[in-house]
Amino acid sequence: MEIESLAMALEREHREIDAGIEAFTAEPGARESLERAVRALRRHIYLEEEFLFPALHAAGLTAPVLVMLRDHGQMWATLDALDAGAGPASCRRLSVQLLHHNLKEEKILYPELDRVVPEPQAGRLRAFLDSGEMPAEWVCLRARA
Ligand SMILES: [Fe+2]
Ligand SMILES: [Fe+2]
């Protein structure tokens, strides 16, 4: 069986997070699936900002990386609102933010990952997607005071 590439694993995580948000939008009682999606998205952003974007930046993809960092900062504010108990309107906002953001990442940045993040680093990051934990106090770059 073919090993899943890092890009494929990240795209799968995009879909899983979308599904968690949709479950809450469809049934606002399903707060647990929303909370799981929020946690997963924070960790996803952590992995991108700490491990992928520096490598993509070093490979010359500076402009798209800056756009992605700005998107993350905006999404992080929505995640904070959701953690503080915000309802479906914030959820819809997050869905729209993700729709645009994920599309850009998948079209522009993820196709470069095979080249820019080689094995065994890619394998370590896939393992992190399976079971890694974001440092508890970590905050995305553009959300720092
Ligand atoms: Fe991202
Ligand atoms: Fe992503």
Assign 27 a pLDDT band (cuts: 50, 70, 90). confident
Provide the token pair at 39. 């946690």
CA of 72 to the centre of ligand 2 (A): 9
pLDDT tens track for 67-95? 999 999 999 999 999 999 998 899 999 99
| Range(s) of the domain holding residue 14 | 6-140
CA of 111 to the centre of ligand 2 (A): 12
CA of 98 to the centre of ligand 1 (A): 8
- Residue 100: CATH number of its domain: 1.20.120.520
Helices (H), the chain: 6-26, 31-47, 53-58, 62-83, 88-104, 113-116, 121-131
The single-letter code of the amino acid at 67 is V
Domain for residue 145, yes or no? no
Domain count along the chain: 1
CA of 72 to the centre of ligand 1 (A): 6
Domain for residue 110, yes or no? yes
Domain for residue 29, yes or no? yes
Assign 54 a pLDDT band (cuts: 50, 70, 90). very high
Q: In terms of pTM, does the model score above 0.75?
A: yes
